[in-house]
Structure 1
Amino acid sequence: MPDVLYVGLQEDDKIASFGIDAGSGKLVPSGETPAAGAPSVFALNPDRRVLHVGYRGAPAIESWRIDPASGVLTSLGRVATEHWPTYLATDRAGKYLLSAHYQGGYAAVHPLGRDGAVSGPALDRQNTAPGAHAILTDPSNRFAFVPHIARQNDNVLEPPKNIPGPNFIAQFRFDAATGRLSANAPFKLDPPGPIGPRHYCFHPTLDLVYFSDEQGCSVTAYRVDRASGTLSVVATTPSLPAGVTVRNTCSQIYLTPSGRFLYVGNRGHNSIAGFTVDPATGRLTPAGHAATEAVPTAFGLDSSGMFLFSAGTATGRLASYRVDSKTGALAPLDIHAVGRRPAAVLAVPLSR
């Protein structure tokens, strides 16, 4: 099945769409959808029929139906939020939409209706601390984590403001029947140093989760206790080449569907760092760095894990790469001008 790639253009108030050629990874522009309010983050329902969009300029969450044949988006409704959502994700069953709110310092849960769209105001809100950056439920759908960075308003295009951040991971239990979060014990997990956990992804088969460390310029692996839902540190691996001292912060982090390769964005060094993942232990081994567009805040993989797409927030361009199936190395393909401040990238397989 072909994939469609959506790119949220924060300063153009629109979502650009591209068809992805399954063999070559070539992108073909397929349309633009007006999306007023600075679209900044995306999430997809498990059935791949609804795209959720978080807005930064006019804080809100909007749900869009995805046409299964064309990928054309049709709005299903918008719900205002008190603060702009920094991150969105559905629970594993697709009944609830979870959000993290950086400026507000909290996590929230919204109900999803039968059509998969946000159907009302938040049913739960858990205050954590400023700098809340992401939230996902674990594979069992019983636990969730909210990482908080170590330095706030840390724009690599500006000198450091040195505003301390909370620098911890909030640990929650998640009730899949009610959609409510409750503090786990312990609630706060301190990372190994002022590294600023930002985003994370779960290994598909091992009890491991990998966090991108915004200030640490690294990836930290944690073991997930299946019974308690709490984390313990396993190892931290640098995301920059040895000896590099450029001002840099890490952004998003993704595993390929197979779990064989992991990628993290370096903003400042302007690269995508690749790692091979040991299938038995989950240990990371550096697999090189691919130069990319300046300030790669958002990137994503297609559903096959064969292609990676990286957006340059500072350049308004999208770079595409082929993933080497043996080594995980990224081979450059094309560069497309997409628009002003691309802040979200998501590939969705169509069901035709």
Structure 2
Amino acid sequence: MKPNLILLLAFAILPTNSKGQNTIPNEKAEDSLNVMFVGTYTKKEGHVNGQANGIYSVMQDPETGKLLFKETAANIINPSYVKVSKNKQYLFAVSELGSKDAPSGFVYSYKIDEDYNLEMINKVSTESFAPCHIALDQSGNFVFVSNYVGGVVMVYKIKPDGGLKKVQRIDLENRSDSNAHSVTLSSDNKRAYIADLGNDKIWIYNFDLHTGKLRLNSQAYVALPNGSGPRHFSLSANNKFAYSINEINSSVSVFSVLKDGGLKLIQNITSLPEDFTEKNSAADIHIHPSGKFLYVSNRGHNTIASYKIDKNTGTLKNIEYTPTFGKAPRNFAISENGKFLYVANQDSNNISIFNVDPKNGKLTTKLAPLEIKTPVCLEFLGG
């Protein structure tokens, strides 16, 4: 059965209220709910028809997984990636702008007030265009922003008031071809891995916690097969294994992590069923909090691919492909308790809600997707 037909059948059986949205019982006190911030596109670009107002806030019931739209938390152009600070007092957001929009892209810093609205502290240039990802170091003192255009990665220090101050600019090689898509810090805070989609490389840097600066590791990089397009990167909690979701060839690359932080490729596995031959772009990747399962999103096939992680070798075995009840699933988020997985479906204007089976990692749902304009990034404040 074709994925689109599966999707239509799935929509037909999903429960919904008259507005097509989930509701949380009125008696539920707001302070018992979790907050999720939603990054969006606000204007039409070459790859998306942005329709949102900015950053939205959504309430999550931690018991049932239900979502309820709260409000527009901040008006900002194309906040395509958002990240909450380690102390949960601030939120950082990129403004994904091109050369026709402004002299550069920007990263904004906001204070999260008691009503979960966002008060802008400052905005800083990303010194290139189309900033698309934000990462934090484990101490919570430094912010890393990747610019898709120009191969530029920026490091900022978080000031006492929550504002950002430039620390370092990194220019990746072959800037005209480079697409810096994400930075990932190891749990011991010693390494930073930069996924360079355009150059088909994962760059490896040593991180200096005292200065906040990055310095090339002795290995420098690991090269993937031409046309892979590494996009996002995840590390196991013990830093023994690493996983790259590759956008262009729809694959997951598995690495063993060496003692010096270097990477050794041990497996490449497709993110798609063998019989799927239509266009697809893989997007996001996350390891379940239990460490037992790994999930990736497929735009085109419109599924979440689930894998079981071998605890000894780190290698993957496919579990299933679950339709996302939407189009172009981008970023997705797993709740801290591991019970729920939420998917931002960019082109169908909704967020899908799944229960995660803790025994086998499979995804199921009884809730209708939450309607929300052009969602592309989901970030929990907590829970």
Matched, 1:338 2:372: yes
Counterpart residue number, 1:65: 111
Matched, 1:314 2:354: no
Counterpart residue number, 1:251: 283
1:41–1:86 CA contact under 8 A, matched in 2: yes
**How many angstroms does 1:303 deviate by?**
1.6
Of the candidates 69, 72, 78, which is equivalent to residue 29 of structure 1?
Answer: 69
Of the candidates 95, 103, 126, which is equivalent to residue 170 of structure 2?
Answer: 126
Matched, 1:185 2:218: yes
Query: Unaligned regions of 5+ residues in structure 1, if any?
Result: 150-164
Provide Cα deviations, 1:273-306, integer angstroms capped at 9, x if missing partner. Answer: 1112223332212111111111112211112121
Matched letter for residue 189 of structure 1: V
**How many angstroms does 1:74 deviate by?**
2.6
Matched, 1:39 2:83: no
Q: RMSD of the alignment, in Å?
A: 1.7
**How many angstroms does 1:206 deviate by?**
4.9
Query: Unaligned regions of 5+ residues in structure 2, if any?
Result: 1-31, 43-51
Q: Specify the SS of the correspondent of 1:294.
A: coil
Q: Specify the SS of the correspondent of 2:378.
A: strand
1:44–1:89 CA contact under 8 A, matched in 2: no
Matched, 1:18 2:58: yes
Matched, 1:216 2:261: no
Counterpart residue number, 2:315: 283
Counterpart residue number, 2:45: none
**How many angstroms does 1:185 deviate by?**
2.1
Q: Under a length normalisation based on structure 1, what TM-score does the superposition of the two structures give?
A: 0.89
Counterpart residue number, 2:186: 138
CA distance in 2, matches of 1:3, 1:133: 28
**How many angstroms does 1:193 deviate by?**
4.7
Of the candidates 29, 40, 45, which is equivalent to residue 9 of structure 1?
Answer: 40
* Residues 134-283 of structure 1 aligned to structure 2 (within 5 Å): 134-149=182-197, 165-226=198-259, 228-283=260-315
Provide Cα deviations, 1:63-108, integer angstroms capped at 9, x if missing partner. Answer: 22234x6433332222232223221111111111011111021211
Matched letter for residue 113 of structure 1: K
Q: Which piece of structure 1 moves more, 83-92 or 43-52?
A: 43-52
**How many angstroms does 1:313 deviate by?**
1.2
Structure with greater proportional helix content: 2
CA distance in 2, matches of 1:223, 1:51: 33
CA distance in 2, matches of 1:94, 1:34: 23
Q: Under a length normalisation based on structure 2, what TM-score does the superposition of the two structures give?
A: 0.82
CA distance in 1, matches of 2:234, 2:82: 15
Structure 1 residues 186 and 282: alpha-carbon distance in aligned structure 2, compared to 1, 3 A threshold: closer
2:74–2:118 CA contact under 8 A, matched in 1: no
Provide Cα deviations, 1:163-210, integer angstroms capped at 9, x if missing partner. Answer: xx3111111111111011112223231114531211011111351111
Counterpart residue number, 2:329: 296
CA distance in 2, matches of 1:327, 1:274: 10
Provide Cα deviations, 1:297-348, integer angstroms capped at 9, x if missing partner. Answer: 2211112121111111111111111111111111122212101x22211122
Q: Which piece of structure 1 moves more, 69-78 or 205-214?
A: 69-78
Q: Specify the SS of the correspondent of 1:133.
A: strand
